[in-house]
């Protein structure tokens, strides 16, 4: 990993719901905490990292699409617009239970997308498991015209922010 930490990927099952009155940063932090606590039931020792990501366009928090039709609507709503990607992360030290959390944002502008471009992208299958129905690490990169902020926040995990959280957790455990 880019920040020098060996890790094991261990998925947890949680029923994510977008809370209508919750801020985007509050949403991603809340769900990263829930995921970290769920992982702590499985992993009694070590450092747990849990994350959650949403796309925010206007006042709407966009999670993962339910199906292909929903993915089409999400892509149409992002076409030609700038939106914000929010990633929340929680670090939980086990068995001590020390916890730190935070979030990162990146602004992304889409090209105007024709119906043909959207349909071709839907055929790749990529949109179905990603917040906002796109991922720029593969075919979806052609949808994006501009990015402001950390690219790794959109592609995967904001490593710079993660390193800050690791340092906060270290400082907390020294006290």
pLDDT digits (tens, 9 = 90+) for 23-64: 999 999 999 999 999 998 888 888 899 999 889 999 889 888
Mean pLDDT computed over 119-128:
95
Asked about 6 being catalytic, the answer comes back as: no
Q: For the range 94-99, what are the long-range contacts, defined as Cβ-Cβ under 8 Å and sequence gap of 24 or more?
A: 94/40, 94/43, 94/44, 94/45, 94/46, 94/47, 94/48, 95/44, 95/45, 96/173, 98/169, 98/172, 98/173, 99/33, 99/36, 99/169
- 107: CB partners within 8 A, 6+ apart: 82, 83, 84, 85, 146, 147, 148, 149
Question: pLDDT category, 114, cuts 50, 70, 90?
Answer: very high
Q: Please say whether the structural domain 52-88+104-174 has been given the CATH code 3.40.50.9100.
A: no
* Tally of residues, the chain: 175
Task: Point out the catalytic residue in the list 6, 52, 67, 138.
Answer: 52
Task: Report the alpha-carbon distance of residue 63 to residue 16 in Å, rounded.
Answer: 9
Q: In whole angstroms, how far apart are CA 148 and each of 84, 152, 157? A: 9, 11, 16
pLDDT at 113: 98
pLDDT at 131: 87
Mean pLDDT computed over 94-109:
92
């Amino acid at each position: 990993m880019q920040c020098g930490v060996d890790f094991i990927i261990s998925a947890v099952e949680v029923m994510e719901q977008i809370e209508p009155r919750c801020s985007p940063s509050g949403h991603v932090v809340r769900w990263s905490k829930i995921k970290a606590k769920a992982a702590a039931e499985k992993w009694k020792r070590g450092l747990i990292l849990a994350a959650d990501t949403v796309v925010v366009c206007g006042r709407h928090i966009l999670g993962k699409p339910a199906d292909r039709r929903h993915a089409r609507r999400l892509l149409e709503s992002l076409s030609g617009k700038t939106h914000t990607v929010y990633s929340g992360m929680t670090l939980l030290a086990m068995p001590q239970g020390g916890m730190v959390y935070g979030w990162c944002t990146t602004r992304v502008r889409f090209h105007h997308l024709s119906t043909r471009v959207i349909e071709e992208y839907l055929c790749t299958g990529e949109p179905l498991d990603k917040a906002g129905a796109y991922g720029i690490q593969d075919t979806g990169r052609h949808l994006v015209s501009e990015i402001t902020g950390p690219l790794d926040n959109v592609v995967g995990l904001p490593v710079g922010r993660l390193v800050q959280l690791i340092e906060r957790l270290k400082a907390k455990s020294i006290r």
